[in-house]
Each structure stands twice: as structure tokens, then as C-alpha cells.
A and B are shown apart, each in its own frame.
Chain A
Amino acid sequence: EPEVTQTPSHQVTQMGQEVILRCVPISNHLYFYWYRQILGQKVEFLVSFYNNEISEKSEIFDDQFSVERPDGSNFTLKIRSTKLEDSAMYFCASSELLYRGEGYTFGSGTRLTVV
């Protein structure tokens, strides 16, 4: 079964450093997403991306965050200057269509620890 692949599985970074989280969505999917889950808490929407542009972003997704699909296969989330409160699990997801909410697949996540 096709998978959404995220790398790395765990990243430790120093406060103030830039970090890039990488995702390879399912190849025929057209819609891409990032979510965040602070440990033990609810999963929060960050951003949705379609046709090479952001279609929706949350209040969390401020100027410190950016997304990119640099080469037609990868989908990245960049945090420019990490803060301690950015420590969380970050999930990438992709979907082929939005019709009926079908085919929405999550990756296994990247645990980001900011020290």
C-alpha cells in the first residue's frame, strides 16, 4: 500500500536554528498538509498546499514557517528560527482528491525536539 514518508523520524535542534522537515507524499496525490501534535495533546492543522501554493493556513503558521514542493516529489516544512515551544510531533499528509474526504494518508511523523 502506498505510504507517505517522513524524514527524519527524530530531529534535535538548538533554539534559534533553522530546521527543515521532509515528506514524500504519495505519488499521484495533489493535496498536501502539515499538522502538529504537542506531546499528548490534540493534533493541530498547520497548512494545506495545492497547485504549488498554500490554500489555507492556521494562526500557528506564522512568518517563521514556510512550505515548499521543490522538485515535484518532496514536500518540506521549514521553521526559520526554532523556539522551545516548537517541540512537537509534525505529521505530513497527502490526499488525491478532496471529494468525500477519501484517501487522506498520514506519514509516521517527525519528532522535533528544540533544546
Chain B
Amino acid sequence: AQTVTQSQPEMSVQEAETVTLSCTYDTSESNYYLFWYKQPPSRQMILVIRQEAYKQQNATENRFSVNFQKAAKSFSLKISDSQLGDTAMYFCAFMKGGSGNTGKLIFGQGTTLQVKP
């Protein structure tokens, strides 16, 4: 069975600074996808960034980038130039790929990020 662990329940960062959220996962699958979702106070789940396990290159979306270390099963999210609107709960998630994939996402416990002015 796959598991996703986020070991930082809460973090804070000053506006305009950089912060890194940690995520580790455990799987025996070779084909899978990893995601970071943002959940602001509105409670909507918003996709931040997605990584395909077979790609060595780290995904980047504007101020958001990941450090994907496949051997270490680590998938951290870096937020550069933090903005007040980045204040939210962030969830790391895993999806099995290949045959037998039903689209099920397995989430970590979440990290609450507060950006301070």
C-alpha cells in the first residue's frame, strides 16, 4: 500500500521570502504521479503542480517548483517570493500510474502555511 507523509503540520514565512514544504512517500510502484494541492480557507482543492515519476526534470509552475528525489522518495515544494495569497493548507498527493490506475489520489496529512506581511 502507498503512503504519503508530510512531517510539518505548520509553517510560516515572511512575505517575499522562500519556503520549502516537505513530503515523503512510500510505494513499490515504478510508474506514478505526484501532486501538490493548495486548500485556501475557501476549502477548494486547487492543483499547484504535478510531477511524473519517469521524468527526471523537476516540475516548475511560475513561483512554485518541486525537488523530486525518486530514490529517496521525496517530493518537496518550494514557493519563491511568497505572497499573502499563498496562505493555505498544502497537501502532497500520490497517484498510481499504468494499468490498474483508478485515479485514486492518496493524500498526506497537510501542512498549514501562513505567509506573514
Contact = CB atoms under 8 A, between A and B. Distances in A.
Interface in A68-99: 89, 91, 93, 95, 98
B102 A50 contact: yes
Bin the interface of chain B by size: 20 to 34
A102 interface: yes
Given A41-B109, A42-B110, A43-B91, A104 B104 contact: no
Contacts of B106: 45
A71 B78 CA distance: 43
Given A100-B33, A101-B33, A102-B50, A45 B43 contact: no
Given A42-B109, A42-B110, A108 B42 contact: yes
A104 B105 contact: yes
Contact of B102 (A44, A55, A89, A111): A55
Contacts, number: 66
Contact of B107 (A33, A44, A104, A111): A44
Closest 10 CB pairs of A and B: A101-B33, A106-B45, A56-B102, A55-B102, A43-B107, A48-B102, A42-B109, A108-B44, A31-B103, A98-B101
22 contacts: A33-B103, A41-B110, A42-B91, A42-B107, A42-B109, A43-B91, A43-B105, A44-B107, A48-B103, A48-B104, A50-B102, A50-B103, A55-B103, A91-B45, A98-B103, A100-B50, A101-B52, A104-B35, A104-B47, A106-B46, A109-B44, A111-B43
